[in-house]
Amino acid sequence: MENRFAIITGASRGIGKAATFYFAQKHYDLALISRDKKNLLKTVDEVKSFYPAVKIESYVLDISKNARIEKVINQILDAHNRIDILFNNAGCFIAGTSLISPKNLTSLINTNLSGLIIVACLVARKMQQQKHGYIFNVASLAGKRPVAQLGGYCASKFGVVGFSAALTRELIPYGVKVTAICPSIVATDMTEEVDMPLEEKIQIEDITKTLDYLLNLGPGAVILDIEIHCARVLASETNSVIDYLKNHSDQ
């Protein structure tokens, strides 16, 4: 019997690497995509050491180079009769709103939004034909709640949330689900500069537990997007509101 098959972008680090181990543990064969060849090959070796029976293909691809995406993804699609999962995770983080440079804005949009959309559309056509599959688009809580100094990043992730919701409605009649995963501050190298104890950030395992929850829902249940809040940040926001109300209660 043919194993289930998952495509994972941004697979060599952080959330993408965690998803790679999650799907390997679940006995999926894998196509791993990353722009970082060294870390990608290291990830392949690590996964194989734990799960030697899992078949793994690796592809070096910078998702921001949109012109190359179609060739690589079609190569994967042509080689497999079924695609069960797309974990669409590759992304980058650059700060800036009114002061963001055109170069940085272009990088954000090409990687986080247009690259993600191109990958999703190519895989969606295959899933539509086979009448099953699940696409996870990794967005961010910043794609639902704007942050003052992160306007470019927020714009890219708002786009992911909107695109995912539209794609869900298009694919549901074919038995294909799409969910945008929207975490706050996750304990990865991308958030190393965030001044917060590591243990107070969202843990990588919380993302894979979310995956597990979504995959175990019945066919009649659809989650358009799922927010994963950082408890410390949420508590801080709540306390700020309470302090404001106290200070203005007699006015």
Residues catalogued as catalytic: 153
Contact by Cβ (8 Å): 73, 86: no
The b/e string for 209-219 (b: 16+ C-beta within 10 A; e otherwise) is: ebbeebbeeee
Total residues belonging to the chain? 251
Dist. CA 41–CA 37, nearest whole Å: 6
C-alpha distance from residue 41 to each of 26, 65, 159, 198 (Å): 21, 21, 31, 27
- Which two three-digit tokens encode residue 61? 């691809």
CA atoms of 56 and 48, how far apart (whole Å): 8
* Closest C-alpha to 183, from 91, 64, 106, 109: 91
Q: Residue 88's Cα: distance from chain center in Å? A: 5
